[in-house]
Chain A
Amino acid sequence: MTEKVSVTIDGAIIRAPKGLSILDAALDHGICIPHLCRVPAISDLGACRLCIVEHIQNGRSKVTTSCTLVVKEGMVIHSNTEKIKRLRRNIAELLVAEAPNSRAVQDVAMRCGVKEVRYPFRNNNCILCGRCVRICTGRLGEKAIGFVGRGMDRRVVAPFDLKSKLCRECGWCSDLCPMTMTPCGGPMHKGQERLCTNCESKQTSLDQMTGYCVACYFGKGFQCERHPERFTGIEE
């Protein structure tokens, strides 16, 4: 049997197997910490930073991503403080301004409390979450695509920006891609940097359920495995 350790997340004492990340431990116990770049059962990047939590150590709080933080006996974690909510909202705002053209990103932004976006929209095709890269190199071991370049030139391509010979066209990459989800029909254009009213009405109920799984509308291949039954009939 796997050894277990006790951690405290938002006041709840949780017994989690050694080696598990705080994010997985929380999700397993119904505490929904928002996340985007995570791919279940594959090593985490810590790229989207949405799953940040406050880790209390020696009386001092440190902001860190829960997906890269491994459970340790006696750890104290706060996932939903005012500070975390503010920081998470700012990150989500940056993300949605980059790609308002994806339902997944819209959902995450809404989930993190973004109402108005203070940056001009960009409608990028990729938010560099790396889900495709990790399924390709991590689970399938193919290494057909990867992150290339750096900074603003960073992109996901195959060597020399051509189609890789290693690609078996399994399609996992596009299944996991948040950008393949058709956005809602709200005002998603430059100059109308808001989320639609539909999202806003959901926001009210979310505010009352913070910290719990709200079964947000991530599409096929994207769902966190918490409530698979809710995704059998995807609402459009």
Chain B
Amino acid sequence: MNKIHSLDRLRNFRQGIIDQRKKFAATMIICGGTGCQASRSKDVIEAIQNELASQGLTEKVHVRATGCHGFCEQGPILVIEPGNIFYCHLTPEDAQEIVSKTIQKNEIIERLQYKDPVSGNRILTEAEIPFYRAQNRLLLSMNRLVNPGDIEDYIAIGGYSALGKTLAELSPDAVIQEITAAGLRGRGGGGFPTGKKWTETRNADGDEKYVICNADEGDPGAYMDRCVLEGNPHLVIEGMMIGAWAVGAFKGYIYVRNEYPLAVKNTRIAIQQARDLGILGENIFGSSFSFDIEIARGGGAFVCGESTALMASIEGKVGEPRAKDVHTAVDGLWHKPTTLNNVETWANVPAIIHNGSAWFAAMGSKGSKGTKILALTGHIKNTGLVEVEMGTTLNSVVFDIGGGSSDGKAVKAVQTGGPSGGCLPVDKFHLPVDFDELYAAGSMIGSGGFVVMGQNTCMVDVAKYFLTFLQDESCGKCVPCRLGIDRMLEIVTDITEGRGKPEQLDLLEELGATTSETSLCGLGKTAANPALSTLRYFREEYEAHIHNKKCPAGMCQALITYQIDSETCTACGACMTACPYKAITGEKKQIPTIQLELCQKCGICRSECKFESIQVN
């Protein structure tokens, strides 16, 4: 392949791709992200390609297998352009009908259309779907324009031109100035001003400097980094290159979770393609800038989201954080100055350089600029990735985009920011998605996981869940984190199992404060947030467990018993088949009984009963 060694070549190369694609009358965009692959989108893509071939349309219709669109719940998803026609829940068997009706005759197939769960109406185009309508999909919208395995797609939409502009026109200081003026803050959780970080690395002594992309999205309930890296790896690479130019780095690492096999694969391909075209390598676009990227796969440790632990892991060591009295921007990977940013942060860089800082700074709230991708999940109608302008209220996210609670009951809370964040009750939903405002309310944006919780969720159990997670993920190096989390978990477990004492709530608060203040790294410093925020906003639930020995949500196994409601039970026997402990017995066509001494209160019978006849006392 010919290398692109100048900006003119890049422009010509791009024009060539565009010209070559003029022959296509239509484009079929099919999501091939992890979520849709789980719903067999690979088979759908293959079926559509076969169908186009058999109807002789291969030269007229362009099939683009893209990364994640963020609406995984509806997968596999197909968008047909022109027309923006949106089909969802596809199966390979639908391919024939789609090609012969919609592609050939412009006929719409109603049963494949999206049905709005709020209004019940069928919706024709992607743009009209309420889930998408209330969003501002700066980064995510690009995913549908590119096949992550094809660098030509990315160049066709203007990719690497921001890098070209940087190398031709902007000095490193000018780049940093743009990023600073844009007000970009780290999307990984801390919200640290990106420009400030870059300045520190740029000003640090030494010629050997590094940039790192953190794609170790360990936060359970968040997957925007997977989506961006998997769906548009070149965007992240371009952002890293601009950053490397600014700070003076010659080498970059992408630290990606091994639990994201598709992201690893797509990034590998992207790096290789960029190398083949000379976009990564020596004297990029004929400039003095040389740069290359290597992939490091994470080993499955949440603590490696902490910068010092992540760097230790890239060095091939145990991911234990160290004291950070000197920032990693100055003393980082192999003790060299290192700029570490998260996937979403890097992905924002090319557009800022391309459109200017004023364009970016015009979006968002006072202290938080631009957009943020949130992973909206849990007990909610529309789940998926949503990208909203900073400053959008939680109400708008949960109700306008998410469509409200999935079971029709009231929403109880939203958990934001994963294990480092907290739970916010409905009366805080007027708060905006903003680094500082959510922090002040005892939570944080974190990496952007938004888990909506309904009435069946016990908030003490939520605290226990996160503490269990953190106990498992703490590296164990420092006392407040290792023992503090363990003792907090001990207290919360006591409460959920009916042994709680009123004075333990004060102890929990004091211990939480100590852990936050004195832990070595960010994991420990934020570990108490889920417990403290639930205690702050849902203290009455804790008290019900302690004083009345009751779990109001009916979740805590030790405090409940199951019973079969003879009025609604149809004696179908599903619960008897379902119970793995054989604790439900009875004759055929008779209402069964639960043998309390055998019952493990696992809740499987309740989830399998179609008539809601298993009651919790």
Which residues of A does B touch, CB under 8 Å? 45-50, 52, 63-65, 68-70, 86-87, 90-91, 94-95, 97-98, 118-120, 127-128, 147, 149-154
Contacts and interface: CB of A to CB of B under 8 A. Distances in A.
A70 B507 CA distance: 34
Given A46-B323, A150-B301, A94 B484 contact: yes
B73 interface: no
Given A47-B477, A48-B479, A151-B474, A87 B514 contact: yes
Interface of B is mostly: helix
A94 B507 CA distance: 12
Given A151-B482, A154-B482, A87 B518 contact: yes
A68 B486 CA distance: 25
A41 B479 CA distance: 22
B182 to A, nearest CB: 25
A47 B518 CA distance: 11
A90 B479 contact: no
Contacts, number: 87
A90 B335 CA distance: 34
Contacts of A47: 477-479, 520
Contact of B518 (A49, A95, A149, A151): A49
A151 B472 contact: yes
Contacts of A154: 475-477, 482
A90 B484 CA distance: 9
A152 B471 contact: yes
A49 B478 contact: yes
Interface in B176-227: none
Contacts of B475: 150-151, 154
A207 B322 CA distance: 33
A48 B519 CA distance: 10
Contact of B477 (A45, A90, A118): A45
B480 interface: yes
Contacts of B482: 128, 151-152, 154
Max count, chain B CB within 10 A of own CB: residue among A63, A87, A150, A153: A150
B19 interface: no
Given A65-B323, A150-B474, A151-B472, A90 B510 contact: yes
A119 B514 CA distance: 15
Contacts of B483: 94-95, 97-98
Max count, chain A CB within 10 A of own CB: residue among B482, B490, B519: B482
Nearest to B476: A154
Nearest to B326: A70
B518 A118 contact: no
Given A49-B478, A152-B486, A64 B325 contact: yes
11 contacts: A47-B477, A49-B518, A49-B519, A68-B322, A127-B479, A150-B473, A150-B476, A151-B473, A151-B476, A151-B482, A153-B476
Nearest to A72: B325
